[in-house]
DNA sequence: CGTGCATTTGACAGACATCAACTAGTGTGG
DNA sequence: CCACACTAGTTGATGTCTGTCAAATGCACG
């Protein structure tokens, strides 16, 4: 039962969040009132702590209540590929085999609902709402992955522009985005280097497409052009 | 009812397969005896014909019985990104919205089981086997997409090597692979140009990792090295 | 007000794309 | 059945984009 009690091991409630920058990601509205709300239990994770790890047995499904998490894969040669960012409402952790193939870590303080796979599978057989919710969540994950695949065969500028565009849609705080992730996270997600990410952001700024107040606080000044640059 | 009767419009039974090259993809063993075998109906598609298209209403789920298909997205600037290759047994076509976000076309003659989404969803609520099969298929698609995301942040040589490695696993004809797709298809899947695909294949051949009998008939001579080159 | 990490900027090198020409394999028509 | 035509695939020369290495700057926290 490796993953049975992640809280007590990885993020004891009450511990202050280490090195948390003053980022208002907590302002993201948690998705509410799904049919899963009464299942499982909610567990808090501190920034940087792992929800689960590659090769670990997969017995739970995870629903993000608040905060942001990232799923990544470490290759033998030390490279890290971030496969997805998870936002409130996202359901993840389904596996075809017995074990997880990705690691997932919280990149901000996050509250996560853990539900036993067996429990949810049983519930889906009797409760149409649960089945529907599961279906929608999986289909969403498939679609986001497909979009990311498209993103990864674009130029660096297009990837960065597309990334900002997606983030501005997923964090609907008018035209300003508080990025919860570092440049390195963005780079590992977009399959480019941090230097290239930085350069492309600078170029977008020079083109007056965006305004960079602080490194992680970015305002979309010309959404139309940004979208077009994302192709 | 755009997609209601694809056969009669797109691939009338009895018509000879246009320009079919002498490729033995029909040798791939169709997956057998799933719980879906009695649902829907089986429809033949000729090489090059569309199973469904981007923006079309999504009312069906598709299960490939035999042959090979590819899912792709066309962008405004004319670029084509192939998101996935589907092989016998694969289930696809689930969408979160009302319409498809990808187009899917057969790249060999293919037999495809079409099942109404509403039918299969209803069946999943009463039949545990159907629910399980659906779950497994979706999870497989998620995993394959995740692996493709990893693939797309590698070097060209690694992408090609990884591609060959995957194909040799998915078409288990001992060490020889009959590729059903063109170099252009491979390029659009791997996010590189046909010239680069060709050069990397040549390099792998020069390294004695593979042997290229004909352009699409490739023998893996050194599986260990191929896997290592795929990183 | 420093200290340390995150981010940006610069110079240069390497990988891949592009443009162009050539070769080989496949289907067609005599 | 063979020759031709056409498309698919390969190879070469060159340019551009992105990676790499190095250094400077800025921001958050103590």
pLDDT tens for B39-89 read: 899 999 999 999 999 999 999 999 999 999 999 999 988 899 999 999 999
Measured CA distances, B10 to B6, B52, B89, B116 (Å): 6, 10, 22, 19
Task: Please count the residues of chain A.
Answer: 231
- B128, B131, B150 member nearest A73 (Cβ): B150
- Are the C-beta atoms of residues A56 and A209 closer than 8 Å to each other? no
Q: pLDDT-derived band of residue A9, with 50, 70 and 90 as boundaries? A: very low
B102 contacts in A (CB within 8 Å)? 146
What is the model's pTM?
0.87
CA-wise closest residue to A28 among A69, A79, A88, A77: A88
Instruction: Please provide residue B140's backbone torsions phi and psi, each rounded to the nearest 5 degrees.
Output: -60, -45
| Element holding B125 (H helix, E strand) | helix B117-126
Are B139 and A96 an interchain contact pair (Cβ–Cβ within 8 Å)? Answer: yes
Nucleotide D10 C1' to residue B195 CA (A): 8
**Among A173, A161, A142, A140, CA closest to A205:** A161
- Residues lying close to strand C (Cβ under 7 A), chosen from 198-227 of chain A, are 198-199, 201-202, 212, 215-216
Q: Do A121 and B138 touch (CB under 8 A)?
A: no
Q: B131: part of which helix (H) or strand (E)?
A: helix B128-151
Q: Does B150 touch chain A (CB under 8 A)?
A: yes
CB contact under 8 A, A146 and B121: no
Considering only CB atoms, A94 lies closest to which of B121, B128, B142, namely B142
Q: Which nucleotide is nearest to B22 (CA to C1')?
A: C26
| Interatomic CA distance for residues B59 and A88, integer angstroms | 29
A183's tokens: 């440049």
Q: Which nucleotides of D are covered by protein (CB under 7 A)?
A: 8-13, 17-22, 27-29
d(CA B96, CA B55): 13
Nearest-angstrom CA–CA distance, B229 and B231: 5
d(Cα A26, Cα A67) in Å, to the nearest integer?
A: 6
- pLDDT per residue over B153-195, tens digit each? 999 999 999 999 999 999 878 899 999 999 999 999 999 999 9
Instruction: Find, among A59, A64, A63, A65, the residue nearest to A119 by Cα.
Output: A59
Mean pLDDT, rounded, for B97-102: 94
- The two tokens of residue B231 are 């990183």
Number of Cβ within a 10 Å radius of residue A87 = 19
Verify whether the Cβ–Cβ distance B150 to A81 is below 8 Å.
Answer: yes
- With CA atoms as reference, report the closest residue to B150 among A211, A123, A101, A13: A101
**Interface residue of A146, A159, A185 to substitute, partner B, most B CBs within 10 Å:** A146
Q: Which has the closest alpha carbon to A66: A99, A17, A116?
A: A17
> Over the stretch A95-109, which tens digit does the pLDDT of each residue have?
888 999 999 999 999
Question: Do B81 and A191 count as a contact with CB atoms less than 8 A apart?
Answer: no
User: Is the CB of residue B96 less than 8 Å away from at least one CB of chain A?
Assistant: yes
Measured CA to CA, the distance from residue B215 to residue B183 in angstroms comes to 9
């Amino acid at each position: 039962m490796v993953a049975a009690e992640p809280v007590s091991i990885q993020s004891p409630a009450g511990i202050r969040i280490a090195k948390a920058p003053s980022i208002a990601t907590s302002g993201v509205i948690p998705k509410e009132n799904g049919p899963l709300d009464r299942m499982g239990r909610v567990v808090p994770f501190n920034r940087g702590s792992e929800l689960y790890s590659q090769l670990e047995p997969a017995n739970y499904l995870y629903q993000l209540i608040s905060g942001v998490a990232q799923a990544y894969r470490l290759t033998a040669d030390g490279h890290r590929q971030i496969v997805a960012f998870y936002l409130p409402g996202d359901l993840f952790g389904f596996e075809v085999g017995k074990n997880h193939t990705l690691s997932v870590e919280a990149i901000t303080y996050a509250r996560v609902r853990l539900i036993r796979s067996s429990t949810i599978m049983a519930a889906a057989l009797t409760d149409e709402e649960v089945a529907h919710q599961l279906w929608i969540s999986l289909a969403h994950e498939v679609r986001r992955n497909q979009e990311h695949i498209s993103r990864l065969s674009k130029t660096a500028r297009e990837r960065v522009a597309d990334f900002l565009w997606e983030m501005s849609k997923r964090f609907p705080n008018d035209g300003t985005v508080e990025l919860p992730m570092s440049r390195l996270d963005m780079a590992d997600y977009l399959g480019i280097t941090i230097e290239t990410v930085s350069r492309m952001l600078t170029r977008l700024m020079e083109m007056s497409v965006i305004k960079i107040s602080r490194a992680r606080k970015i305002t979309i000044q010309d959404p139309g052009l940004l979208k077009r640059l994302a192709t």
